[in-house]
Amino acid sequence: MEKQKMPSTILDNIKGSELPKNWADKIDIIPNKTYTVIIQPQEEHSSLQQIMSEISRNAKTRGMTPDVLENILGERKN
């Protein structure tokens, strides 16, 4: 279930005038200054349904069945 993290990309000594205008507008870039830009992918978040499905698949591959689960939990209905 562990996912490998993607590495960050670092761009050093980028002139403010070389940055996209929409970035410069958002963070008050000074055109003649140099900046370091770090680009890092966001973590992918799984939905609860995706997580539960993965847990279920893992349990089934390890031999878990509804009968085994009921026996473990002591919920056998007669």
For residue 51, is it within any domain?
yes
Residue 38, phi-psi category: left (phi > 0), alpha (psi -120 to 50), beta (remainder): beta
Q: Quick: pLDDT tens for 24-36.
A: 888 889 999 999 9
**If DSSP states are collapsed to H, E and C, what string results for 2-60?**
CCCCCCCEEEEEEEHHHCCHHHHHHHCCCCCCEEEEEECCCCCCCCHHHHHHHHHHHHH
Count how many Cα atoms sit within 13 Å of the Cα of residue 32 in the half-sphere of its side chain. 0
- The whole domain housing 58 covers 43-78
Read off the pTM: 0.45
Q: Quick: pLDDT tens for 15-59.
A: 999 999 998 888 889 999 999 999 888 777 778 888 889 899 998
Domain identity same for 47 and 74: yes
For residue 62, is it within any domain?
yes
Count up the domains in the chain and report the number. Answer: 2
d(CA 73, CA 33): 65
